[in-house]
A and B are shown apart, each in its own frame.
Chain A
Amino acid sequence: MLRLEKRPQPSQVWTYLTPLLAVVITMIMGVALFAALGKDPVAAITTIFWEPLFGEFAFYYRPQLLIKGAPLVLIAIGLSLGFRAGIWNIGAEGQYIIGALTGAGVGLAFYPMESWVIFPLMVLAGAFGGWIWAMIPAVLKLRFGTNEILVSLMLVYVAEKLLAAMALGLMKNPEGMGFPGSRNLRQYESAHNAELITGSGMHWGVVAAMIAVIFAYILLNRHILGYHIRLTGQAPRAARFAGVRPARLVLFCLGTSGALAGLAGMFEVAGPAGQVSIDFNVGYGFTAIIVAFLGRLHPVGILLAGLLMALTYIGGELAQSNLGLPAAAIQLFQGMLLFFLLAVDVLTNYRIRLSRPEVA
C-alpha cells in the first residue's frame, strides 16, 4: 500500500525536478488529447514546440517569444511575491487592463503633441493604474477583512466592462469612422513602445521584465523585506513574533503585483496591441498564475516558465492555422500543466513509501 511520509525538509532535488516532470506529463497527455481530437499528435507537438524556434519561419516567431513572454514574466514576478506570503492576488488581468487604460489615456491626452516626456509619463500612469486597482482589494482586506481573492477577481470583470466602455466611448478614435477602439498608438511616435532593435521583438516591456526579475531576485535573497515575505508564507505565527507587520506585506505585495501588471498592460497597449479595443486583454493575467507556479515562485524559474508559456501561445496559434487545432486546446493544455504541477509537487514535501497495512 502506498503511504505518504512527510519529509523533514522539502527535497532540493525534487524542487527542480517537479516542474520538468509536470511538463513531460503534460506533453504526454497533450499527445493523447491531440490524438483524441483526430490530429497527428507528433505533428501537433512539433508545430507547437519546435516550429516557432527552429522551423522555416522561426525568424518571425522568435521575436514573438519576447513579445508574449514579457507581460507574462512581468505579471508573474509580481504575483509570486504575494503567493509566497499567502496573499492571493488573482485579479492581475484587471490590473493589466486598467494599466493599459491609464497608460493609453495619458498618451491619447497629449495627442498630437510630440515630446520625449510623453512615453515616461505613460509608463508611470500605467504602473499607477495597476497599483490603484490592486490597492482596492488590499485596503478592503486590511480595513474590513474581505477576502482579496474574491475582490480582486470581481474587479477583473469590472475592468473588462470599463475597457468596453472606454473603447466605445471616451477613448474612441474620433477619426475612426465609428469603429470601436482608440487611436493607434503605433502611429503616434511619442507614445509608441517601439522595438528597441528592429526585428528582435525587444521593446521596453522586455527590458522592464528583465529588471523585475533581477530586482525580485535581490529582494527575496538579499533584503529583509523579501525574508519577511518568505517567512510569512512558511510560518505565519513565527513571522508575527519576529515583528513582521502583516498589513505592510499585504500593501506591498498587492501593490507591487498591481503596478507590474499595470506596466505590462501599458507596454502592450502602446506596442504590440497598439490600441485600446474591446478584446484587448487575452488572459495574460490568468496565464501568469500558471507561470508563477511553474517557475516555483522563483524569479529565474518564472523567467524560464514565462518563455515556455509564450512558446505554447505562439505554437498554439501556429497549430491553429496549420493543423486546425482549436484555440481552446492550448488553453486546456496550459490548465493541465498547472494541474500536473500541483499533483507532482507532493514529491517535494512528502516521500512515497510502500508499506503493508499495519495491524491495529
Chain B
Amino acid sequence: MEFGSINPVLLLASLMVAATPILLAALGELVVERAGVLNLGVEGMMIIGAICGFAVAVNTGSPVLGFVAAAAGGALLSLLFAILTQFALANQVASGLALTLFGLGLSALLGQGYVGIKPPPIGKLDIPLLGDIPLLGPVLFSHDLMVYFGLTLVVAIWAMLKYSRAGLVLRAVGENHDAAHALGYKVVRIRVLAILFGGACAGLGGAYISLIRVPQWTEGMTAGAGWIALALVVFASWKAGRVLLGAWIFGGVTVLQLNLQAAGIAIPVEYLSMSPYLITILVLVIMSADRSRAPASLGRIFHASQ
C-alpha cells in the first residue's frame, strides 16, 4: 500500500465534486424542513432527477437541458408528496417513504434503454488566471458550473432565510403553522412551494451523479445519497452554511475511501465502502443531542379547522 499515491490536491478537488450532489439535495430539504415539512422522499426524487437528466441530456446532447429536465422531474415527483401531505393530509413519514419506493421503481422503468450509454460531456469552467494558481487553482477554480451553482445556492438560501421577508414567512410557517395561519399567511401554498423547490434541488443533485460524477446510468445509482442528505440537514442544525461544511465532510470521506481502495489498502473494499454510512450515523449521534433547533412544526399535519 502506498499513501504516497494519493495526491492531496486532487483529493480536495474531487471532494468538491463528490460533495455537490448531497449539497444540492440537502439544501432543498433544508428549505422544506424550515417550512415545517419532513419529506423523506429525497432518495426517490434524486433518482428520478438522475434518470430524467440523463435521458434528456442523451437525447438532446445538451447537459444544460438535462439539468433543467432533472429539476422539473424532481419537482413533479415532489408534487405527488405535496398533494398527499398538504391536501390529503397523509402522514409525512409514510408519504416520504412511498415517494422513495415509487421513485426507485419509476426510475428503473424509465432507465431501461439507457444502461451503458455515455452522456454528453459537460465543459469544465477553466478560469484563465485563477485556475493557474498552484494548489488553490485546481481545488477551487477548475470545476463544472454545477459546483459553483451549489455554492451560490448556499449563499442565496442563507440570505433568503436570514434577511428576506419570504424567508421570515417561511420560517414562521415552519415554527408555528397555526400562528402563521392566523396572521393570514397561506400555510399550504407556502409549503407546497417549498416542497417543489426541494424536489427540484434533489433532482439536480441526482442528475449531477448520473451526468458528471459517475457518469452513466445504473439502476439505484444514488445508493443512499438522498438519505445522507437528510442526515446532513440534521447535522447542519437547519442552517445553510453548515450544510456546506457537512457536505464537504461527507464528500471527503467518500473520496478518501475511494482513494484508499485504489491505493490497495489491506482492508477489503466492502468494509471501506461502509464508511460513508457509518460516518453518517456517527455524525447523527454527535449532533442529535441538541434538538432545540429543529423547526417546531416539523412533520405536523396542518388543517385549517383546528
Contacting residue for A149 out of B40, B95, B277, B306, CB 8 A: B40
| In the complex, A238 has a CB within 8 A of chain B | no
| In the complex, A322 has a CB within 8 A of chain B | no
- A residues near B83, Cβ cutoff 8 Å: 343
| In the complex, A329 has a CB within 8 A of chain B | yes
The answer to whether B271 and A165 have CB atoms under 8 Å apart is yes
The answer to whether B89 and A349 have CB atoms under 8 Å apart is yes
| In the complex, A216 has a CB within 8 A of chain B | no
CB neighbors of B among A144-164 (8 A): 144-147, 149-151, 153-155, 157-158, 161-162, 164
Contacting residue for A342 out of B98, B107, B108, B224, CB 8 A: B98
Q: What string of 1s and 0s marks CB contacts (under 8 Å) between B269-306 and chain A?
A: 01101100110110011001101000000000001011
Contacting residue for B288 out of A146, A161, A286, CB 8 A: A146
Contacting residue for B88 out of A90, A165, A289, A342, CB 8 A: A342
Q: From residue B195, how far is it (CB to closest CB) to chain A in Å? A: 15
| In the complex, A88 has a CB within 8 A of chain B | yes
| In the complex, A335 has a CB within 8 A of chain B | yes
Stretch of B126-134, B171-179, B200-208, B226-234 lying at the A interface? B226-234
Nearest-neighbor residue (CB-CB) of B285 within chain A: A144
The answer to whether A154 and B109 have CB atoms under 8 Å apart is no
Q: From residue B217, how far is it (CB to closest CB) to chain A in Å? A: 13
The answer to whether B101 and A290 have CB atoms under 8 Å apart is yes
The answer to whether B102 and A332 have CB atoms under 8 Å apart is yes
Nearest-neighbor residue (CB-CB) of B234 within chain A: A147
Nearest-neighbor residue (CB-CB) of B101 within chain A: A335
Q: From residue B79, how far is it (CB to closest CB) to chain A in Å? A: 12
- B residues near A336, Cβ cutoff 8 Å: 102
| In the complex, B11 has a CB within 8 A of chain A | no
With A150-B230, A165-B271 given, is the CB distance from A343 to B84 under 8 Å?
A: yes
The answer to whether A342 and B84 have CB atoms under 8 Å apart is yes
The answer to whether A165 and B289 have CB atoms under 8 Å apart is no
Q: From residue B276, how far is it (CB to closest CB) to chain A in Å? A: 8
Docked Cα-Cα span, A343 to B102, in Å, equals 14
Which of B102, B234, B305 has most A Cβ within 10 Å? B102
The answer to whether A161 and B270 have CB atoms under 8 Å apart is yes
- A residues near B277, Cβ cutoff 8 Å: 154-155, 157-158
| In the complex, A354 has a CB within 8 A of chain B | no
With A165-B268, A165-B271, A332-B102 given, is the CB distance from A153 to B84 under 8 Å?
A: no
- B residues near A168, Cβ cutoff 8 Å: 268, 270
| In the complex, B112 has a CB within 8 A of chain A | yes
Docked Cα-Cα span, A289 to B102, in Å, equals 13
The answer to whether A146 and B84 have CB atoms under 8 Å apart is no
CB neighbors of B among A69-96 (8 A): 88, 90
Contacting residue for A328 out of B89, B112, B291, CB 8 A: B112
| In the complex, A4 has a CB within 8 A of chain B | yes
Q: From residue B127, how far is it (CB to closest CB) to chain A in Å? A: 37
| In the complex, A169 has a CB within 8 A of chain B | yes
| In the complex, A17 has a CB within 8 A of chain B | no
Which of A168, A289, A342 has most B Cβ within 10 Å? A342
| In the complex, A179 has a CB within 8 A of chain B | no
| In the complex, A350 has a CB within 8 A of chain B | yes
Docked Cα-Cα span, A241 to B9, in Å, equals 58
The interface on chain B, measured as residues whose beta carbon lies within 8 A of the other chain's beta carbons, has a size of: 48
Q: What string of 1s and 0s marks CB contacts (under 8 Å) between A319-360 and chain B?
A: 000000011111111111011001111100110000000000
- A residues near B271, Cβ cutoff 8 Å: 161, 165
Docked Cα-Cα span, A89 to B273, in Å, equals 23
The answer to whether B305 and A5 have CB atoms under 8 Å apart is yes
Docked Cα-Cα span, A338 to B273, in Å, equals 32
The answer to whether A147 and B288 have CB atoms under 8 Å apart is yes
CB neighbors of A among B104-132 (8 A): 104-109, 112
Q: From residue B279, how far is it (CB to closest CB) to chain A in Å? A: 9
Contacting residue for B84 out of A286, A331, A339, CB 8 A: A339
- B residues near A329, Cβ cutoff 8 Å: 105, 109
Q: From residue B61, how far is it (CB to closest CB) to chain A in Å? A: 26
Q: From residue A71, how far is it (CB to closest CB) to chain B in Å? A: 17
The answer to whether B97 and A289 have CB atoms under 8 Å apart is yes
| In the complex, B93 has a CB within 8 A of chain A | yes
Contacting residue for B268 out of A155, A157, A169, A286, CB 8 A: A169
Nearest-neighbor residue (CB-CB) of B273 within chain A: A161
| In the complex, A140 has a CB within 8 A of chain B | yes
The answer to whether B112 and A326 have CB atoms under 8 Å apart is yes
The answer to whether A335 and B98 have CB atoms under 8 Å apart is yes
With A144-B285, A164-B270 given, is the CB distance from A90 to B224 under 8 Å?
A: no
The answer to whether B281 and A151 have CB atoms under 8 Å apart is yes
Docked Cα-Cα span, A4 to B306, in Å, equals 12
Q: From residue B191, how far is it (CB to closest CB) to chain A in Å? A: 16
- A residues near B90, Cβ cutoff 8 Å: 342-343, 345-346
- B residues near A223, Cβ cutoff 8 Å: none
Q: From residue B234, how far is it (CB to closest CB) to chain A in Å? A: 7
- B residues near A151, Cβ cutoff 8 Å: 281, 284
Q: What string of 1s and 0s marks CB contacts (under 8 Å) between B195-237 and chain A?
A: 0000000000000000000000001000110011011001000
B contact residues vs A (CB 8 Å cutoff)? 40, 80, 83-84, 88-91, 93-95, 97-98, 101-109, 112, 219, 223-224, 227-228, 230-231, 234, 268, 270-271, 273-274, 277-278, 280-281, 284-285, 288-289, 291, 303, 305-306
A-B contacts, 14 of them at CB < 8 A, read: A6-B305, A149-B93, A150-B230, A150-B280, A158-B277, A161-B270, A169-B268, A290-B101, A328-B219, A331-B101, A331-B109, A335-B101, A343-B84, A345-B90
The 7 A-B residue pairs with the shortest CB-CB distance, nearest first, are A335-B102, A328-B108, A331-B105, A332-B105, A165-B270, A342-B90, A328-B109
Q: With A154-B224, A328-B108 given, name 14 new contacts (CB 8 A).
A: A4-B305, A144-B289, A146-B288, A147-B288, A162-B274, A164-B270, A165-B268, A290-B98, A328-B106, A331-B104, A332-B108, A335-B105, A343-B88, A346-B88
